[in-house]
Chain A
Amino acid sequence: MENVIHTDKLTKIYSGTTRALDGLSLDVQRGEIFGYLGPNGAGKTTTIRLLLDLIRPTEGRAALLGLDAQRDSVAIKQRVGYLPGELSLWDNQTAQQIIHFVGQARGGYDKTYVQTLADRLQFDLTKKMRAYSTGNKRKLGLIIALMNKPDLLILDEPSSGLDPLMQQTFYQLMQETRAAGHTVFLSSHILSEVQAICDRVGILRGGKLQAVERVDALTRTDFRHVILRFRQTVPESLVATVPGVSGVTSENNGKTLKLQLLGDFDPLLRSLDGFYVEDMEVQEPSLEEVFLKYYGAQSAVNNHQKAEATQ
């Protein structure tokens, strides 16, 4: 499959010592929505700025759409739509004037499609920039990024500032973009967003890429939360020693056991022999738990227990 984004040991060092990005080697394929996850300061925006040739790498190289990110920067930008983390434009210009300028810079645009996007995002094109709220500026940024139906969309924290209804519209737009064979590279720290729309995710920590996984594989291959409801009281010790089981807690006078299971179900099910199981509930870990696991800030199990305790 064709790589739309390819980076090879891409590194950015500021002031001689601060490694904002450290040896990033990453491939993003045509037609996928790639989520780029990490907390503030992880290097997400630095990566995007390097891809767009806003900053230059200290080491390594990047290629977009088969072209060199630095040498062929202008040709690349003809085919890329970009939404910055914080959209800032000329306050005394209307959205229409700004869109016209962007369209002209790209060699023309489809006014009908712009109006369609504005309608779907419920955005009024006639106001001046200074009159728009943060959410509306975000919508304008999305229109600017999408209006030329680019081969590659690079979005920095795209849905922050959008209300839940508009977030759904945004998700639909991304899915339509993917269906049209275009590629989306979006940075986010909103895990539910990545879980909802991304095919693959890259997890970044301290400027280093920790993992690249399919979103479904990431949540499937890890542990699961299991809730067992029995007709009679069951001691915790019944399952506590089963291989792969951890974090066993008892509720409802010992008739409910909650645990985390790593690996296959079979040892657990065999240990329940002789007890009447009324119900068994299996929950996949959230991406947040997986995320925390990669970061090592706290174990996913502990995090889940805390969340349970607050409910």
Chain B
Amino acid sequence: MTGVVLLNTLRRNWRQAIYWGISIGILGYYVIVLVPNMDTLKQYEDLVAKMPPLMLKAFGLSDAAQMATPAGFLGFGFFSYMLLVLATYAVLAGLSITSSEEDRGILDVLLSLPIPRWRIIIERLIAYTLILIVMLVITFAGLWIGAATTPGLNLDLGRLLAATVNMLPATLLVLAFTALAGAVARTRTLAIGVATVFVVASYFIDFLGAAASGTFFDSLRVISFYSWYNGGQIMFTGLEAGRVLLLLAVALICALGSLWFFQRRDIV
């Protein structure tokens, strides 16, 4: 029956999604309620002002004054780092698509049922995409409640929504990349290693490249999904279709790659 793997994946993971969503949402709420606290913003501005310009760039801030705005504070203090949290979830979810279950022998039972291999990957990718959307909806709810209940806060809710939505393409890319790693590598350990290196290396390439413009690291930023995510500036720029489409396209290529490899190889 079509959709049976999708429903099974949702049934097994919806609680997790709620817990992750609530945790990130609460964090978002607290970051928002901190914004009008001018003492906090001032302290951040002072701190950032003492940073060398290279460090400012590395954190995705063009100048210290940007930091003193609610949008700059949210970009730096929440959206820049929250992608790492979501990427962690995406790696775990990506491993669950084939790798973890292959390691535990669950795939043997699953593939003894009349379900084509490609459907396992597609339905699980859809299920985890839905789960990520639920997590982001809860996250936005936390941010929105924070914004709605904090007096005197001048925050563009449209931009806040755009910044939340902006986390989805990059997270989907990590999800699909990990699924690809799991489909190619026949051991879970190797898949974890490859996915972790992908996320961490992307972060550092972007960080170092942003700090040292015109250097080798700067030229490498093109291969870092983190640089295309642009979390530090998202509250100022809004969603950029080019970046979003590029991330989604690479995610799609990874998903298709995982289908291709998984369809052809032995289950160990």
Residues of A within 8 A of B (CB): 49, 52-56, 73-75, 77-78, 80, 82, 84, 86-90, 92-93, 97, 101-102, 104-107, 144
Contacts and interface: CB of A to CB of B under 8 A. Distances in A.
B1 A80 contact: no
13 contacts: A49-B267, A54-B111, A56-B266, A74-B115, A75-B114, A77-B113, A78-B114, A84-B109, A89-B109, A90-B12, A105-B4, A105-B5, A105-B114
Given A90-B12, A97-B11, A105 B109 contact: no
A254 B109 CA distance: 60
Contacts, number: 65
B12 A105 contact: no
Contacts of A82: 109, 112
Contacts of A104: 1, 4, 7
B109 A88 contact: yes
B108 interface: yes
B267 A54 contact: yes
Contact of B267 (A55, A88, A105): A55
Interface in B213-268: 264, 266-268
Contact of B1 (A52, A84, A90, A107): A107
A106 B108 contact: no
Contacts of B266: 54-56
A161 to B, nearest CB: 15
A105 B106 contact: no
Contacts of A101: 4, 8
B12 A93 contact: yes
Interface in B116-131: 116
A78 B116 CA distance: 11
Given A74-B114, A88-B108, A89-B109, 4 more contacts: A56-B264, A87-B109, A97-B11, A105-B4
A88 B115 contact: no
A101 B8 CA distance: 7
B267 A106 contact: no
Most buried by A among B105, B116, B264: B105
Nearest to A55: B266
A55 B268 CA distance: 8
A69 to B, nearest CB: 12
A54 B98 CA distance: 13
A52 B266 CA distance: 11
Contacts of B8: 101
Contact of B108 (A54, A78, A92, A105): A54
Most buried by B among A74, A97, A107, A144: A74
Contacts of A97: 11
Interface string B1-35: 10011011001100000000000000000000000
Interface in B75-104: 104
A53 B116 CA distance: 11
Contacts of B7: 104
A106 B106 contact: no
A53 B110 CA distance: 12
A95 B4 CA distance: 16
Contact of B113 (A55, A56, A90, A105): A105
A104 to B, nearest CB: 5
B113 A102 contact: yes
Given A54-B267, A55-B267, A77-B112, A88 B104 contact: yes
Contacts of A107: 1, 114
Contacts of B267: 49, 54-55
Given A55-B266, A56-B266, A101-B4, A106 B114 contact: yes
